């Protein structure tokens, strides 16, 4: 079993991924869409990722472009970020369905 990555590094990778994907973590917490235990589980999931260097490079590119992007396919939290966005924004739900 692979050891988990450093907490602080992966905490910030997950925060940056949320921002890059347009996932408003503060609003999600306030709206009850993301409780503290869930966020902790997301950070732990990130810590188990085998591609943190690839993630760092992807985030650097996404941050330079300045636009919102879908999480890369290798992101272990990508689906959860999408779920949170859909729950917070009906427009995102419609665009995710291609409407």
Distance in angstroms (rounded) separating the CA atoms of residues 31 and 27: 6
1 pLDDT tier (thresholds 50, 70, 90)? confident
The verdict on residue 84 lying in a domain is yes
Average pLDDT over residues 26-41: 96
What separation, in Å, do the N-terminal and C-terminal C-alpha atoms of the chain show?
A: 42
The verdict on residue 50 lying in a domain is yes
The verdict on residue 1 lying in a domain is no
The verdict on residue 2 lying in a domain is no
pTM confidence score:
0.86
* CB-CB neighbours of 76 under 10 Å: 19
Average pLDDT in the chain = 91
The verdict on residue 39 lying in a domain is yes
pLDDT at 52: 97
The verdict on residue 22 lying in a domain is yes
Closest CA relative to residue 62, chosen from 97, 17, 28: 17
How many domains does the chain fold into? 1
3-state secondary structure of 35: coil
68 pLDDT tier (thresholds 50, 70, 90)? confident
Lowest mean pLDDT among 14-23, 38-47, 86-95: 86-95
Q: Report yes or no: 88 and 27 within 8 Å, Cβ to Cβ.
A: yes
Residue 72: give the domain boundaries: 7-96
């Amino acid at each position: 079993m692979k050891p988990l990555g450093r907490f602080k590094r992966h905490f910030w990778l997950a925060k940056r991924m949320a921002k890059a994907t347009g996932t408003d973590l503060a609003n999600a917490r306030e709206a009850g869409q993301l409780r503290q235990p869930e966020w902790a589980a997301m950070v732990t999931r990130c810590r188990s990722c085998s591609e943190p260097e690839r993630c760092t490079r992807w985030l650097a590119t996404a941050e330079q472009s300045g636009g919102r992007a879908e999480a890369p396919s290798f992101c272990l939290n990508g689906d959860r970020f999408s779920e949170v966005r859909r729950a917070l924004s009906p427009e995102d739900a419609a665009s995710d369905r291609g409407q």
